[in-house]
Structure 1
């Protein structure tokens, strides 16, 4: 299949950006994971970093794997005013963006034919590396995948398929001399461009099982989960095409939560109501 055919098929299914790359080992990514894990930069996070011998080898994800199709779905919506007593959630959690992308990739797999496997927000695959190889976007200095049309306001997913597809052309690094994300991070988690120190990251601490250190509590402000600071300041996220621009947030979207409600809710209640979030025992 030609790359242009894949793009048209993706558009039909409502996928915002799609590209393909050969199902080959992510050797550099595996090396980076092992090096950064040895430096303690992942804190106690596991995810794709726990077993890079699996997450960096898409060729083993399917017996007859030939191609990794990478897909991006823009989740951006305008944030309504924050009312007193409310806490803020990051945009990607306002609705089930990953679930929506998973359904679209499953439909794509059926349209392509042959054996396939959908991997969306899974520990078994580094979706960002697939996206970079396939031309869906490039790694920014904030470590996020930046797409040409939607910036980094996207969730990523992958489809491992037995079908041969023309590979996309990788995007060149396009941050230039900009350091806005590095300067904006209130805790210095991005002081090394392109490398995230999770032990200083507000998003990490909002999800960690351990108590949030005193020095990181004030920078969180009204943020009760995650953090969008390094995305909010990125020039790629300013004048971009925003898929949901001018539209109300999707039905059921929840950009803000009641702080009193969260404080009074039990751990089990929070997990049940916010199954799209990683909510540890607090």
Structure 2
């Protein structure tokens, strides 16, 4: 079969199944990316969620059963604005999940699209061998997408497309079919540094370089105590961070609602904080299990909800935080609640902390209680 004809048919089919952008590149090694990954590793900038073997991340032949000839990159646009978003108000404060966690988990959506694409290619080219991946695969999604002409790699470390800005999910497929590669896109960030300038924690070290250990999107997914220096910067974020996207001029006016399954349920994407503290495992799975922000479980999100209540200095949450301090079996939540009580202040918070000193045995929680008492003295 004529490979160029097959490419055109694949592009046409991709549009029929709702893929918003598709690009093709070679399966050559990502040499420049290897140097960057080695530097990130040496600096300790990795998140720890990545594939550990850098060779597999830059050499497609190491993860493919046959000789890889091409990589297909796909992008799906997601919404940037929430319809009917509930307001966060006194006594009813709300947290927020980042846009990439609105609607159904994008991993499932993109995998289904790639599966349909695989089935179509097999029907047209039975000798085809393919391996698809979304986010958790060995290859670097952004490196593939950039080389395949989906968009350019922005200073905010996101792929920026002319059509949809950086509000796109990425996936790729390695194949033995020698498709003609597309042309990479010219970088259009220019002298703009808005994303670097407004990053709350300085995680964007420079254009295109991220220290994941300082990135709020990463920090919201960690399971232990949040380091002190970041507690005042997390705001009301429960999962992820969109700051470096929302300030990007290329995202101005970009808001696409092309996939119903990506539409956010406002009460899930922007939930009330106080009820979140005591949600059961069953209710959490039923209500939040379908979103990507649930993958680490409820504990990190509940910790973040406590920090959000402290951010708001929500005095109406003091009874809820006292219950966490006195009854929750998890040290991280008890300790974070102790710190939050100190941050919010008041006689009830102080009395609760003093009572807790008589029964608390965990050394880390006691340390957080001491921090809380110091904060009380500053109020």
Q: Do they fold alike, i.e. is TM over 0.5?
A: yes
Q: What CA deviation, in whole Å up to 9, does each residue of 1:26-66 have, x standing for no partner?
A: 121122111111111125x2313x21111222223322321
- Structure 2: gaps of 5 or more residues: 123-127, 301-379
Q: Please tell me whether residue 207 in structure 1 is matched to residue 209 in structure 2.
A: no
Residue 256 of structure 2 aligns with which residue? 243
Q: Secondary structure at the match of 2:220?
A: helix
Residue 46 of structure 1 aligns with which residue? 49
Residue 66 of structure 1 aligns with which residue? 69
Q: What CA deviation, in whole Å up to 9, does each residue of 1:249-273 have, x standing for no partner?
A: 6375732123223322367875774
The structural deviation recorded for 1:87 is 0.6
Equivalent residues in 2 for 1:173-252 (5 A)?
173-240=187-254, 242-244=255-257, 250=263
Q: Secondary structure at the match of 2:173?
A: strand
Residue 57 of structure 1 aligns with which residue? 59
Pick one of 9, 12, 26 that aligns with 2:13: 9
Bigger shift: 149-158 or 259-268?
259-268
Which of the two has higher C-alpha Rg? Answer: 2
Structure with the largest fraction of helix: 2
Structure-1 separation of matches of 2:184 and 2:281: 43
- 8 Å Cα contact 1:29-1:129 kept in structure 2: yes
Q: Please tell me whether residue 146 in structure 1 is matched to residue 160 in structure 2.
A: yes
The structural deviation recorded for 1:123 is 3.7
Q: Secondary structure at the match of 1:21?
A: strand
Residue 274 of structure 1 aligns with which residue? 289
Q: Please tell me whether residue 25 in structure 1 is matched to residue 40 in structure 2.
A: no
Q: Secondary structure at the match of 2:205?
A: coil
Q: What CA deviation, in whole Å up to 9, does each residue of 1:183-232 have, x standing for no partner?
A: 11121111322100122211111011231122212221111111000000
Aligned residues: 279
In the superposition, relative to structure 1, how do residues 52 and 246 fare at CA in structure 2: closer, same or farther (>3 Å)? closer
Equivalent residues in 2 for 1:98-113 (5 A)?
98-113=107-122
Q: Secondary structure at the match of 1:86?
A: coil
In the superposition, relative to structure 1, how do residues 15 and 189 fare at CA in structure 2: closer, same or farther (>3 Å)? same
Structure-2 separation of matches of 1:98 and 1:228: 19
Structure-1 separation of matches of 2:99 and 2:296: 16
- 8 Å Cα contact 1:181-1:229 kept in structure 2: yes
Structure-1 separation of matches of 2:31 and 2:176: 21
Q: Please tell me whether residue 88 in structure 1 is matched to residue 101 in structure 2.
A: no
The structural deviation recorded for 1:6 is 3.7
- 8 Å Cα contact 1:61-1:160 kept in structure 2: no
Pick one of 180, 186, 198 that aligns with 1:166: 180
Pick one of 247, 268, 275 that aligns with 1:261: 275
- Structure 1: gaps of 5 or more residues: none
In the superposition, relative to structure 1, how do residues 223 and 132 fare at CA in structure 2: closer, same or farther (>3 Å)? same
Q: Which has the higher contact order (CA 8 A, sep 6+)?
A: 1
- 8 Å Cα contact 1:73-1:97 kept in structure 2: no
The structural deviation recorded for 1:71 is 0.5
Q: Secondary structure at the match of 1:257?
A: coil
Structure-2 separation of matches of 1:11 and 1:231: 26
